[in-house]
Structure 1
């Protein structure tokens, strides 16, 4: 029988790719390798925690912490109304796809460092509770969850996410979400140093103050553009929405901590464009998701605030995010009704 070496070509190719992939295990790709969006935020939140621990203002002012997803990026100490701004500071740890699991890990790390806030704003979105969407959990698991964190959350991860996590460690390039087009662009224009925070403009904007991102959603876009975005994200998030079980335990852990430590807590449901909210109505989100959260929050002595009601700010950057122009009034409402109450 004649030899057929070509049958081994796929195996050789696989082994070659597998070995090349191990380049992405080098520390340079994990210590500080900023691409865009997700990786910038998750890296900055680690820096922000260190800045919080060294902030001399904490000796003189009360501390508020914000946890959540991109819908709470604009919450800022700059919005704390007078005269309360003389007595308060605020750090915003909201993250892309900021699921409660991520908020709990960040909160616990801050507490373990010896910092106890006076007020916690926990922003929640129903999309974060959908375990069937791998892209909801993956940013946190890849960029915000170290070995100790994985040991904490592993038993609560859906099987599919456990499988993806294992693949991320078999194929290292997956774990850093390598953006080839961004790499090519930076290489072409001589901007490779932007992988470092000192030269990354997006990082500088986020790191300039205390974690808020006022540049995100600063405009109120035309209604037609927002309606088109509504169809896109409605199909993306809501067409196959499933209320999962992985995040509720971490929401409850946060609430139990704040109750035990007597930390004032506000659970917020940020407003979305009314056209997108109609998708929520179709899946009875208020009844099956928000109402149980209200009950849980009340059980642990926390307040709740649902902005998806008439006569609240109707300026939107896109279907999923209010304009940052809304947040000055919203911060005033929060401080007068909840923080200082």
Structure 2
């Protein structure tokens, strides 16, 4: 692994080359959010008030699902303070944007901003990191999962993307609620409960069939879109002792129109260098990274990243490799031998693997 540097080390070298306006909030991003909000309201009212053929409901559900996901991407930007700076307004707008994904702004900032960003790819402190071989050996459930063939695991993993964000968000609530000061906990509870109250209220109003198209199916679609990005953010990268975004993060490329619709969410390395900067300026950050450290920077098309995720396991071996414990196949990670165009593995002996698990 190359010498590692903190995100601040890189940011300090890029910042002088950025325009001053790049470090200011960009409230104009809210116009995109307003458009998505109006689309969601129109879709929900259409399903709720009109009796249409299920095919039309399906089409509306797809539009709602893509809009839910896009609102989540904007909510992510809002809650980093890159759209508005006033705390109460930031949290209000963030709550609205994350409402379909049922994640409260205070929980998100605690889980994502203050923990994931500070401890990215630290296997003990990052709540979003994947397990090591040592952790696998201590979990009966994980040991059972990794007895399955890698193809079955890959299929199950990709199918589970339809629910992963929602379930992980609930897990993060359970994990972090006690870390909030007692006087703040009721507010965090309220932010967790209110979205579900509104969606259950919608169920009572329009009935199960329409609710499926108005909320449940769109939520599954939104989960899948959001998690397709999140799955590529770090899962091919190594665990690292230093929070180095050029080592622990991956930027994926998508068509330009997708970047417009998704608020440049694909620029993930850039986001970890400047989380307090609007993603509007991430293409310029990318230009400077590639100019200064082209050999360190990781990017690939989202389709290639997804294929690489399918073909590789999600258990870390010696921090910078990935291992399939069932077969004893060891794969490199990005920057440590993984070539997405030609994924190879090396075989280790079963007795060596058993010995390392027992340490």
Name the structure where helix makes up a greater proportion of residues. 2
TM-score with structure 2 setting the length = 0.25
